Chain A
């Protein structure tokens, strides 16, 4: 049995790509021959395959003798038509979610990608044998589109990568033990993640409760430069202090920012899973998050969620958590228990059980 995972671009470090690599690993461990095909270029991945595919995806796919396709859907791409037309025994889709276009109304190119993606998602419904959502939220979207069979399996994450990587010395030396409270949000600078709300809540906390505080906004603004620039203008025009946009940074610096921070604040209004929440759990950062989309699913019974964006009350909530050691410890303990549900072995096992059931 040969399995091919398909996705538009493989970029290790990206949540979808990491999931693809982890699944490839799990499949190989269980003796399944598998490969990865990307749209823009066929990358040789030294971790899992020795073959170099130098031909266009269409030709490769026409020549292949694959039995199963696993299509990773996070954005529209030309691979959708290949998947639809392909003659393979089983077509599985792993749905990571597509941001609704209304979040990108001020970024027309990205908005068009989202609209296109949603149309393709609808089109795929009758061609996919099994749709897997990486959260219950994603699964519910597939159910609403009448996918034949659906299930929910979280992303397979290699959490050891985080603990084995040495944090950046530069960041650690700069921000450790200087008497400042560091609040962190990690995520692409993208409109659905509502960085402006995180900034507003932080500003109230910094201005009225604790001037010795910082906000780290860790994430790339590649292709959302206008949104990033507007956020910076928001900060400058309102005299908001101590907001640091890191931009795209290496992995060891991301680890360092987690290690020097004291709290994770998320006010995102659309997430398919939200890997940074799991990362925050791993680094024992108490999580405060806005109750939306897949966030309750990922947090489970851990962390603290709030239901409205009242910046004054969010600032007070931050203070309540950081000044109450017992509460903070209980939140972190709850998060550690939740983290066990995302262990690679556990999710890998869940995935293989489902996969073997699908291909029977």
Chain B
């Protein structure tokens, strides 16, 4: 479809307005590449919308992924002879003191799980309150209008 204008005014016809528009456009130095880019950006919106990022949820996901502290963590493989001997020393010492620090790790992991649970409840509560806030704002607007 061509670009046309529909105008009902005594001072100007649609054709005259159209002429003014095209003359104005011809006189201006438009960057066609830029115009195409913006039109394309707008058109692409129809294909997909982005998910609204929720910083709280993203932070919670990060917490969740690192909540469990591994007591039997992996050592890096390879390296020089001295590095490998050092790692071997760590592995032997770890085996001897494992019975002691396992309890510490278990206590820490217990605490981390409890914090995660509290965070999860808090985030759900925040989302609920946000929705409630929006609804209350709308209601307040109605009441103010009806005053």
A residues near B, CB below 8 A?
Answer: 11-13, 46-47, 106-107, 165, 191, 196-197, 199-200, 203-204, 207-209, 222, 225-231, 233-234, 237-238, 248, 250-251, 291, 296, 301-302, 304-308, 310-313, 316-317, 319-320, 324, 326-327, 330-331, 334
Given contacts A227-B49, A230-B45, contact A308 B146 (CB under 8 A): no
Cβ of B104 to closest chain A Cβ, rounded Å: 44
B residues near A, CB below 8 A?
Answer: 1-12, 17, 20-22, 24-25, 28, 30, 34-35, 37-39, 41-42, 45-53, 134, 137-138, 141-142, 144-146
Say yes or no: B25 contacts A312, CB within 8 Å.
yes
Q: In the docked arrangement, what's the CA distance between A207 and B77, Å?
A: 57
**B52 proximity list for chain A (CB < 8 A):** 225-226, 228-229
Say yes or no: B134 contacts A222, CB within 8 Å.
yes
Query: Residue on B with the closest CB to A319?
Result: B24
Task: Add 13 more A-B contacts to A222-B134, A231-B45, A316-B22 (CB < 8 A).
Answer: A12-B146, A13-B141, A46-B146, A106-B47, A107-B49, A226-B50, A230-B45, A250-B144, A304-B17, A306-B3, A307-B3, A308-B2, A316-B28
Say yes or no: A304 contacts B6, CB within 8 Å.
yes
Say yes or no: A301 contacts B8, CB within 8 Å.
yes
Given contacts A12-B146, A248-B134, A251-B141, contact A327 B1 (CB under 8 A): no
Report which of B17, B25, B145 forms a contact with A12, defined as CB distance below 8 A: B145
Q: In the docked arrangement, what's the CA distance between A17 and B102, Å?
A: 65
Q: In the docked arrangement, what's the CA distance between A204 and B21, Å?
A: 14
**A310 proximity list for chain B (CB < 8 A):** 3
Q: In the docked arrangement, what's the CA distance between A229 and B82, Å?
A: 54
